[in-house]
Chain A
Amino acid sequence: MQLGELALNVRSKNAGPYWVTIDVFCGSESVYTHLQKLLSLDYVASIYQQPEDKIKRFELPDLHVLKFSFPRTIVQGSRFDRDMHGAQYSVLLSELEISPP
């Protein structure tokens, strides 16, 4: 199954012109525990082709949320930017093929 089918919501957005941030709303304790193991920092860094020391990973157990932030490789709105709001980056996580918990 795809991660997006299991999680409540996966979204991404710019955090200012120089950062993009991705929120994975797991929706339950069991999904959170499952995805917490799966979405390691190095795995997510590889999906977004980021050096591991550039990506920040946050765990919010109360909210059942995992959050990832990294500097935009291409600054928002500059010549080669393809996604002004950074809102489509999230599909790379929501479309991940994963095993059910």
Chain B
Amino acid sequence: MSTRVLVPSGVLGLGFDRDALARGVTLKPDIICIDGGSTDSGPYSLGTGTSKYSRAGCKAEWRELMKAREALQVPLVISSCGTCGSDGMVDWMFDITQELAIELNQSIKVALLYSEQSPDSIVERIQSSACHALEPAFSLNESLVKECTHIVALAGAEHMAHALQSGADIILTGRATDTAAICALPIMRGEHVGAAWHGAKIAECGALCSTNPTSGVIMLEVDEHGFSVQPMATDARCTPHSVSAHMLYENSDPFLLHEPGGTLDVTQAHYEQSDERTVRVMGSQWHKATKYTVKLEAARRTGYQCTIMAVIRDAHYVANAQAWINRLSEFLDKEISTSMSLDRTDYSLEFRLIGIDSVLGVLENKSGNPTEVGVLGIITASSESLTEEIAKLINPFLLHYPLTDNESLPTFAFPYSPAHSHRGALYEFCMNHTIELENPMDAFQLEIRQAGINATG
């Protein structure tokens, strides 16, 4: 026996090859799994509880997957709905599903798995020593936890199995590990546990494990001994190199992957080309943990930001950009202190020199001879109005400040009016911890709803 998992792409909203999906459908998968989440784009999505990708784009792709599910009559799972996997984003995905079910004339049972955590519940777990820091470790306190706008726990295979056992046609989950949905059914059906987790890690980014990453769709087949992976686009191939290299991707350790309830160990894994486009993998191991833990992600608001930009083309200033910005920064801190009575701890004003070292900062070891330099001023403070006041105060100096006292006032290029732009609230990730659970479902809720035609609401 084997279990086939069709993975249409690395994330809903990124796009996939429709022909490759159709080809995947003809191979009769036992389940279709796609991920909707990521921390790639930073803390904003979790901080605000919103999706990084457009609703229209997600809906268009979800339509194709709902049609494929209807044709196959197998479960369709999306994990980490709406980038961050907050409860609100699970509901957002349900709304999309409900609209499509009516448009497609489908009647479906939907399981919603919620993984958001209340700050109070986390405080309790800290107090009962059931919350542990991961490396790089820092400690949590009650006030920091209560500042979080959203805290989510990453669901594992057990939570996915719980949802699958409900017999739902479609499963929408809150935050989960990238691998959890993909490995759940193979594990439930008694396939090799190490192979299921390893295969899920290889498949989680869709065709990124193949020679044509943008084609999206891949098929994972897990059995009692190992797994095979094959891209569905006819011009793509999986090779031992493309597959094994994916184990390195976004992993700090290339051999071990910590998951809820255990660790995947690929030290002994062996990759082999089984036909022209398919790779077979054996030897993956799963080490069950003594305690069941799930990882947390959280974000909190740390202030508001406003940016202001000037571009320098004058060769004299371009050549002395760093000296100029050092002198200007010192002057502006005094101005802000004098005019606004602000202490340096009340705000931050940072200038990044685009063309000099704006990406690498202190790590930059190259110097060039740029034609122009972009000066990106980033102002952060406790309120939007305060950032705007600072932006307006520094505006004339960013435009006209001289390099030395004995030269005429320069005027640089502002690319737009007003020169400042509000960035809104600034969020930051603020947990790198796990929580211990007696029962995997303790921190998660499952809800069953009917959608589409004949839905009673």
> Number of contact residues on A: which range applies?
35 or more
Within 8 A of B (CB), among A73-89: 75-85, 88-89
Within 8 A of A (CB), among B217-259: 241, 244-245, 248-255
With A58-B253, A69-B253, A75-B429 as known contacts, state yes or no: A21 contacts B248, CB within 8 Å.
yes
B45 to chain A: closest residue by CB: A77
Cα of A56 to Cα of B251 in the assembled complex, Å: 12
> Number of contact residues on B: which range applies?
35 or more
Which residues of B lie under 8 Å from residue A80 when comparing CB positions?
350
Most buried by A among B254, B358, B360: B254
Once the chains bind, are B348 and A67 in contact (CB under 8 Å)? no
Q: Per DSSP, are chain A's interface residues mostly helix, strand or loop, or mixed?
A: loop
Which residues of A lie under 8 Å from residue B39 when comparing CB positions?
14, 16-17, 76
Which residues of A lie under 8 Å from residue B197 when comparing CB positions?
none
Q: Per DSSP, are chain B's interface residues mostly helix, strand or loop, or mixed?
A: loop
Which residues of B lie under 8 Å from residue A76 when comparing CB positions?
39, 42-43, 429
Which residues of B lie under 8 Å from residue A91 when comparing CB positions?
360
Once the chains bind, are A78 and B428 in contact (CB under 8 Å)? yes
With A18-B136, A19-B252, A48-B363 as known contacts, state yes or no: A82 contacts B428, CB within 8 Å.
no
Once the chains bind, are B352 and A82 in contact (CB under 8 Å)? yes
With A76-B42, A78-B428, A80-B350 as known contacts, state yes or no: A56 contacts B363, CB within 8 Å.
no
Which residue of A23, A81, A82, A85 contacts B248 across the interface (Cβ within 8 Å)? A23
Q: How far is the CB of B433 from chain A (nearest CB, A)?
A: 11
With A15-B252, A19-B252, A76-B39 as known contacts, state yes or no: A65 contacts B428, CB within 8 Å.
no
B244 to chain A: closest residue by CB: A63
Cα of A80 to Cα of B348 in the assembled complex, Å: 10
Contact with B along A42-80 (1 / 0, CB 8 A): 000001110000101010101101010101000111111
Once the chains bind, are B41 and A79 in contact (CB under 8 Å)? no
With A14-B40, A25-B245, A71-B136 as known contacts, state yes or no: A78 contacts B252, CB within 8 Å.
no
Once the chains bind, are B428 and A92 in contact (CB under 8 Å)? no
Contact with A along B404-427 (1 / 0, CB 8 A): 000000000000000000000011
Q: Within 8 Å of chain A (Cβ to Cβ): is B453? A: no
With A48-B363, A49-B363, A58-B253 as known contacts, state yes or no: A77 contacts B348, CB within 8 Å.
no
Q: Within 8 Å of chain A (Cβ to Cβ): is B346? A: no
Cα of A75 to Cα of B426 in the assembled complex, Å: 13
Cα of A83 to Cα of B362 in the assembled complex, Å: 13
Q: How far is the CB of B133 from chain A (nearest CB, A)?
A: 11
Q: How far is the CB of A77 from chain B (nearest CB, A)?
A: 3
Once the chains bind, are B250 and A13 in contact (CB under 8 Å)? yes
Once the chains bind, are A95 and B366 in contact (CB under 8 Å)? yes
Once the chains bind, are B42 and A77 in contact (CB under 8 Å)? yes
Cα of A96 to Cα of B255 in the assembled complex, Å: 27
With A62-B244, A63-B241, A85-B40 as known contacts, state yes or no: A79 contacts B252, CB within 8 Å.
no
Once the chains bind, are A17 and B358 in contact (CB under 8 Å)? no
Once the chains bind, are A78 and B429 in contact (CB under 8 Å)? yes
Q: How far is the CB of B348 from chain A (nearest CB, A)?
A: 7
Once the chains bind, are A21 and B251 in contact (CB under 8 Å)? yes
Once the chains bind, are A79 and B245 in contact (CB under 8 Å)? no
A20 to chain B: closest residue by CB: B252
Which residues of A lie under 8 Å from residue B426 when comparing CB positions?
79
Cα of A15 to Cα of B365 in the assembled complex, Å: 24
Which residues of A lie under 8 Å from residue B44 when comparing CB positions?
77
Which residues of B lie under 8 Å from residue A63 when comparing CB positions?
241, 244-245, 248
Once the chains bind, are B40 and A15 in contact (CB under 8 Å)? no
Q: Within 8 Å of chain A (Cβ to Cβ): is B380? A: yes
B305 to chain A: closest residue by CB: A79
* Contacts A17-B42, A69-B253 known; 13 new A-B pairs at CB < 8 A: A16-B252, A21-B248, A21-B251, A49-B362, A58-B255, A62-B244, A63-B244, A65-B254, A76-B39, A79-B380, A80-B350, A82-B358, A85-B40
List residues of B whose CB falls within 8 A of some A CB.
39-44, 134-136, 241, 244-245, 248-255, 297, 302-303, 348, 350, 352, 358-363, 365-366, 380, 426-429, 432
List residues of A whose CB falls within 8 A of some B CB.
13-19, 21, 23, 25, 47-49, 54, 56, 58, 60, 62-63, 65, 67, 69, 71, 75-85, 88-89, 91-92, 95
Q: List 20 A-B contacts (CB under 8 A).
A: A13-B250, A16-B250, A18-B429, A25-B245, A49-B362, A63-B241, A65-B248, A71-B136, A75-B429, A76-B39, A77-B429, A78-B428, A79-B302, A79-B380, A80-B350, A82-B361, A84-B42, A88-B359, A88-B360, A91-B360
